[in-house]
């Protein structure tokens, strides 16, 4: 399964948060962006439990991170397939 995590950081903490995100093996990509958020991270995990664990126990605990908005991918055929394999 996959999720996009839209992140706001404290001013000037973007590079530090980005480095911490990229050090996590479950974060496939993470980029600084312009717009209403400061960073987008792409997270991939075997199942929902893994995604939840990454977002709440790892990402949201990074120092300097202020706010997250997680967009969980819910394509029935593609991502759900990997989810049913896992069960």
Three-state secondary structure call for residue 3: strand
82 sits near its own copies (criterion: CB under 8 A): no
Binding pattern for the stretch 8-47 against its own copies, x by CB under 8 A and - elsewhere: x--xx-xx--x------------xxxxxxxx-x-------
CB of 26 to its own copies, least distance (A): 15
71 sits near its own copies (criterion: CB under 8 A): yes
Three-state secondary structure call for residue 43: strand
Q: How long is the chain?
A: 87
CB of 21 to its own copies, least distance (A): 12
């Amino acid at each position: 399964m996959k999720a996009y995590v839209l992140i706001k950081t404290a001013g000037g903490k973007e590079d530090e948060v980005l480095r911490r995100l990229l050090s996590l093996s479950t974060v496939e990509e993470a980029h600084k962006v312009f717009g209403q958020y400061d960073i987008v991270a792409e997270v991939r995990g075997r199942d929902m439990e893994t995604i939840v664990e990454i977002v709440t126990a790892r990402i949201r605990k990074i120092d300097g991170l202020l706010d997250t908005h997680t967009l969980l991918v819910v394509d029935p055929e593609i991502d759900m397939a990997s989810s049913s394999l896992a069960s």
